[in-house]
Amino acid sequence: MDSPQRFDGYGVLITGAARGIGEATARRLTAEGARVLVADLDEELAGEVAKTLPGAAAVRCDVGDRVAVEAVVAYAVETFGRLDVLVNNAASCTRDAPSFEDQAEETWHRDVDITLAGAMRCARAALPHLTASGRGAIVNIGSVNGVQAFGNHAYSAAKAGLASFTRTLAAHAAPRGVRVNQIDPGTIRTRAWAGRERELEALAERVYPLGRVGEPEDVAAAVAFLASRDASWITGTTLRVDGGLLAHNTGFALAMEPVEDEVGQGG
């Protein structure tokens, strides 16, 4: 007899699910039995993804619009009869101006609003339904940018704020039986890196201790764990899925290599 899948009977809402990490997560959770609402600003692409996933549905979702978010959550509950998991994946990241003083205030507000406040809007609308499910979980997709300087001022500030929000919401939601956790990915091979294979190869060789950049499926696997009952005693935590990036200062190690060689030869 086949063992039961971890998400049999689950209703799942994933924002930004038409591509990249969101799409990979939709595929992973569907493969484990979930019915997934593929929510994305690009409704056409979301529909194409949903057509390939058994029991899935698609909807246009602008996480910057409170009314739209509430409608999407209501649609998920209507479609699946319940909502058990919310994955806050939608984000906005605008390239920095060459000088910080030239940073447009409008782009700052957009990145923070979509990346941080968007997660808040989705969580606020979903929380009553996640409470009612008896096994509710929220997984926020953060970034190593929220921990260490890698550029993108507004996006990075928003991701750092998301980590704080994850902790405070976890404390609030715990008595209601809802767990809230976050994943901080490193460099993931998504469309943002299209045509930049040489850069990815350099990062894999020089920066990442595990010798490669991440794939969307690496993050999806972590989401599946934190969303499942396998993580039933885990809340308010951030799981780094970063190939060892933040554990190892590669630049420091490379700078020290000649010193180590010199000491060895002199001994």
Q: pLDDT tens digits, residue range 205-262? A: 999 999 999 999 999 999 999 999 999 999 999 999 999 999 998 777 777 776 544 4
pLDDT at 3: 54
Which tokens is 31 given? Answer: 């493969």
- Asked if residue 5 belongs to a domain, the reply is no
- Asked if residue 67 belongs to a domain, the reply is yes
Residues classed as catalytic: 155, 159
Distances (CA, A) of 4 to 34, 36, 69, 84, 232: 12, 18, 32, 17, 17
pLDDT at 124: 98
Task: List the single range of 43-52, 66-75, 195-204 with lowest mean pLDDT.
Answer: 195-204
Residue by residue, DSSP assigns 178-226 as: -EEEEEEE-SB-SGGGTT-HHHHHHHHHHT-TTSS-B-HHHHHHHHHHH
By CB atoms closer than 10 A (0-12, 13-18, 19+), residue 4 is exposed
Number of domains making up the chain: 1
Q: What's the whole-number average pLDDT of the chain?
A: 94
pLDDT at 267: 42
CB 214 within 8 A of CB 243: yes
pLDDT at 1: 40
- Closest Cα partner for 87 from 26, 31, 5, 42? 26
CATH number at residue 253: 3.40.50.720
- For residue 71, the tally of other CB atoms under 10 A from its CB is 15
CB 174 within 8 A of CB 237: no
Q: How many residues does the chain have?
A: 267
pLDDT at 91: 97
pLDDT at 251: 72
Range of the domain at 261: 11-266
Q: pLDDT tens digits, residue range 125-163? A: 999 999 999 999 999 999 999 999 999 999 999 999 999
Q: Which residue has the higher pLDDT, 108 or 253?
A: 108
- Asked if residue 1 belongs to a domain, the reply is no
pLDDT at 16: 98
- Asked if residue 49 belongs to a domain, the reply is yes
Where would I find the beta strands (DSSP E) of 95-175? 137-141
